[in-house]
Structure 1
Amino acid sequence: MKLNSVRLTNFRQHAQTEITLGTGLTGIIGPNGAGKTTILEAIAWALYGNPAIRGNRESIRFMGAGARAPVEVELDFELGSHRYRVVRGLTSAEVYLDGSDSPVANSITAVTELMQRRLGMSLSEFFHTYFTGQKELSVMAAMTPARRGQFLSRVLGYEKLRIAQDLTRDKRNRVRSAIDGMQRGMPDPEAILRALAEAASRKEEAEARAQQAAHRGAVRQREMMAIEPRWEMVQRQREQSAQLLTQITVAEEKEAALHRDTERITRELEGVQAARSQLDSLREAIEPLFALNVELQALNTLYREEGRRKTLLEAEAALREEIARLEERHTRIERAPALEEEETLELEKKRAELEDAQGLLEARRTEWVRDRQEAQTKREALRQQYSELKHQRDRVVALGEDGECPTCSRPLGGSLHTVVEHLDEMLETVNVDGSYYKARVEQLEQMPEDVQQLDEKRRTLMQEVGTLERRLAKVQLAVQELGTIVRDIAAKQQRQVQMQRDIARIPAGYDPARHADVIAEVDRLTPMEAEAARFQAMLEREPQLKLEQTRIAQEIMRVQSTLGTLRTRRAQISFTEKDFNELKADYDRVRMELQESKVAAARAQEQVSSATAAMAAAQEAAEDLKKKVAELDVLQTDRRLHDELDRAFSDLRTDLNYQLRPELSELASAFLSELTDARYTEMELDDQYNIVILEDGIPKPVLSGGEEDLANLVLRLAISQMIAERAGQNFSLLILDEVFGSLDEARRLNVVELLRGLQDRFEQVILITHIEPVREGVDRVISVRYDADRGCSIVTESEGGGAEIGVGEELEPIAGERGARVRPRLPEESLEAGAA
């Protein structure tokens, strides 16, 4: 595999970077964090997609790029006899083959699968083959022997065998669990055979009992067939006798009812004769009733109107009193508007006096508070001054002539008495002033008399203003009430006139005594009128009663004839209750025995069905046991197969691990011979996977620092060679990322020289480092630095061993020749590319 060029657009800190990679030893040099390893990450992302990046997909977008700016990596490389160009973005990917304009794959998944298929490596195998990361050259030296073997197995892909073996063991464990579960769930074969024999025996016994029950049922059926006709006949006779008896009873009851009706009609005809004799006298008595009813209706109307007159008179009297009360109230408050104006003027005058008094009070009170505060402040200041002077005097007296002057800090000497006297005078002055301000404070503690008088005047004025405000409120309410009273008087006077008109229209002439007499006479004659009406109705029913009397007599003759016929028919039926009871007992006995035989037959048949079902269940259990035995045999075979497969995987891993050290030693020996010009021709890995270099067939007991670096390098190359051979690829590319670690300058140059010695085997070697002196030993240099002003990485190219081309200029690679040939790119172009 050979990398030709890579172009990064808005990929992490690379806004616009394009690099042409040639053959030979190329150094990618720059400080930590400049974006060197990001170039390798972009190459891996172009080939394998998102699994190859650090973080998530959204984290690779350049921070300075716009929301719609493209994120893209374009990788051009050769593999075998073909040249590939891979273009991958966040949401798209394409692969072009041998310079074609049409992609051979044009989706993210298709491109990733195509690259993995053509390279023949997974992402992990690709990294372990072509990439050597930071500090990986000496990584095995820090491991234990067991960890070294696991590390080699993992990077060479032997872990796949372990994973396959683990899957095989999981499947074998599941098969074993299935076998254990099936064996625990399988029934006992002997128990199934016993159940089958018992079911057959139960079926034979049940069938015998069913035959016996069927025979008993047939005998009872014949007895029932013999007695059932006799029973049905006696039941019919009994029913006919009961029906005739019922009909006779109904006819006798009907005959008795007809006789009662005859007696009732006779009594009613006698009552008609008595009513005819009383009706004429009743008609004469109730003749005035109609005129009395007419008069009563007129009197009732006058009675209602008289009640309405009384109600209206009472309401009119109450309304007259209300009008008089309102007119009296109107007289009392008709001066309210004039009083309102007078009270308002008086209130405004008092309020002005209150404001003046309050202003004067506040000014005088403020003056008093200020004087008191000033006196207290002066007194406190004098107290503090007195304390300080007393302290100075005591200190001066205590120190004597050797003390310092409190003013000029010079020794007092003979001036002690003068200073003390001066301090005493000052103390006396402060004491006198303090006594004055003490008396002044005590004097000002009580409110001055003029302030008290002003405060009393203010309270008096406030009370007078409050009284005037309340009087004004009452007057204003009276003004509002005055308008309401005028309207109420007018409305009530109008209602009074209407009431007087209604009273005048009510008719007069109501006589309570006549009203009571008429009511009493109507109450006396009304029952007599009802009695006369009843008698008249009885006279009108006389023809109907006579017709009904004749009809009832005819009906009695017909019912008596029917009774004779029914009694004769009942006497002709040969039925006795004794014969019926004896035959009923025989029938019930036979019916009961027949029912019992049917129940016994059904129970016996149910036992036969149960025994048959048990027989079928036992046979089914036997068949199920046979199937489970067959399934168990299959599972046992599958278990033996997975046991053998597990042993085979173990043997294969053992063989591969056994062959691993000799094969790695052989490949490493070849690299070692080339790098040392055949000084050292043999290198081995011992049982602990430690590196052993042989010189003339003799192991070297101690390796120098350079020899140790060399040994680690050839071992890493041998591992990569094995991975490439297993993938079917030519091992022509080697990428080393920060492999120097903490090596000193001499050992770093030694490793670079060793890498230069591999050019015959490795066509393309890329060395990534932050160590600047390494540029002297490589064929070409790709410098990477981070521009803080532009917020992106800047990539420049130069020949190995020299300075960069230009200051602040970028180089545009030109492909087509061995090595990297560049031309300067103008700063304006670089700025535009970074902004994109």
Structure 2
Amino acid sequence: MILCKLKLENFKRYKTFELDFDEGLVGIIGKNGSGKSTIFEAILFALYGEFKDRGYKEIVRNANATDKDAVVVELDFEFDSIEYKVVREFRGKALSANAKLYKNGELITSGAKEVTTSIMKLTKMSKEAFLHTLFASQKELTSLSNSKPEDRKRMIRKLLDLEKIDYIEKELIEKSRELKREISAFAEVLLSAEDIQTKKEQIKSNEAIKKTLNEELQTQTKQIDSLKLKELDIKKELESFVKTKEAKQKALSELNLLKNSINSNIENQNKLSTELKDLEEKQLQYKALEPIKKEYETLQSNLKEQIQLKEYSLKKEGLIKEQVQLREQYKKAKNDIALLQKECEGFEALKQKEQESKTQQEQIKQTLTQIQVKEKELNSNIFAEQRIINDTTAKIQQMQALGKESNCPTCTRPLLEEYDNVIGSLNSTINEIQTNKITKLNKELQEVETNKKTIETQKEQIDKTLSELNSQLALINSKQKDLQNLSSHLNKVEQKGKENNDEIAKLDKYSYDENKHKTLENSFNEIQPKYEQMKSLETMLKRYDSVKQDLEIISKKITEQNSTYDTKEIDYKQIAYDETAHTSKQKEYEEHHQTYELKVNQINEIKVKIAQCEGEIKTIQSSLDNNEIQLKKVQTKKDDLIDYDKIKLSLSEFKTKLNSKVAPRISDIASNMYAQITKGKYQHIEVSNDFDFYIYDEGKKYPIERFSGGEIDLANLVLRIAISKTLSELSGSSQIGFLAFDEVFGSQDEARRMEILEAFHMIKEQYRQIFLISHEMEIKEMFEKVVEL
């Protein structure tokens, strides 16, 4: 089914409206209240003569239309390459319904109910099924993953229209027929009595052959046991040759390792001897430099003392300079404090004046409020009197328009001769109200307004006085804070001055001589290189005893290793190994093993023949057993046929079974679409029989809540489309070629919108028309075609 054209007259917000539907991905864009959803409400009404919600009929007519204006909806659509046109109308005050259906321009059905019946036969869909299959909203999509399990199950069952049982009853009847055909087909494949007898004789023949082969197998097994014993004897002799060879190789390896160790130790012995001679020479140099050590330490101590005295001298100079600065700060702080104390005088008098002004201000506010109440009351009275004048004037104009034949506005009787008296009385009433009441009220109002202006002037003066007092008090408050800070600062300056005087007194006992300091530095710098050379030699000589001890140890070790080497060399020469005899025995073993392997292969061939016989026996026996099983299956199917007749009495149980067919189908469709949209990242979406959703990631399934918001949105989208396709298949309406989604972008950001739109681009090949309704004006550039409302 493809939508072609929609025409509306006096339908809801549209006085007149026409829209041609394009194919492809179409965006229907407009602000809230622009009539986007109304378009698809009109499509539903055109097809089924009803609205989504009952009780909607009363507000369908345009607000500017009269009861005489008809509400008309015309929809052109294509179904199975045939053009159809449906026209529905509401006429009169009671909104009586009428409808017509055209096929290729020819009227085929008329009448509201008749057209609805024809549409349902054509599409094979009820109104609910049409809504659930072709329309989806953002709220419905998010409900797929966000709802509680029971709510989700209830919603999907409603979408799938599982409440209807006609299709289930038809399936039960067809299944019964199929069982009857299967029972008839089983009779043709079951074995006859002759076939059973032949197969039993084949089993006996194979068992006889198997017995002969088993006897031959026993004979061959005894021969191979004899060969096995001889092979073991040869193998023991070979193992003896191998052990002797390994022992000789091990002894040679140990000799080579010991020789390398001896050579390495001799090399270390030479290095240690050279190092010991070098240390003896450095020992002589150290003794020559040793006397300067005491002189160096004395100079170092004196130099540290001079550095400390210099630090005390510098600290004393800094304190003296700081005392000069503190005296200046103290003098300035004393002067500033005296000035601020004078400026803060009169603070309490200003506070008293401020309180008096606030009291006057409150009294004026109360007086002004009373005047405003009186002013409002006078205006209300003037308005009431003026309304009486207006009403009376209107009566006079009405009477004058009708003449003396008019009725009395009080008793409703014809005036006739009293006409002039009544007119005069009414004019007199107007003059009295105008002269006495309104004039008096206006005079009182003028006096009140004059008094109001006087009071307002007084209020402005008090407000100005209060503002000036607040400014003066704020300034004095600020200066009082400054006075407090200055007093604190003065105390800190006094305390610091006392601390500095005490510190200077302590430093007076120290005396620093700069010339003496420089003389000591020069002497220290001259002796320091010699002292460092001495310390370096001292460090080196610490190794003297260690090197001497190592030399003695390694010399002793070399002597021991030479003795061990001589002993091991004698042991190596005493090991007797005949390589020629070893090679000959190895050749004998290989020839005997070949004979053994040949005999093993012969035995294996016999075992294969035995296995073949056993296989044929099992195959034939399996055929006989399978025949028994098939006989039981035939009986089972006969029992099932009886059970299916009973199942027809329990339709509620059958609905549950249907879920196990629906869920995998939804899963298959959704998985294919999701794999395509995610470019193969996710291959499968599983839908359980309880309509819980899982996504497979790298072979493992996870609940849908585990994934990101964008991935959940795409999963909800493909699941909703899969449900639509499944519903189409269940209803048999495979010719539906369009889908409509209402506000699926919701409050998504730009990246999420692009993902959803890309998903629609990927699935658009499966539908000729996909309509997306949205109030987001900025996304209209994303569509191939746009209807802007």
TM-score by length of 1: 0.40
Q: What TM-score, normalized by structure 2, do the two folds share?
A: 0.42
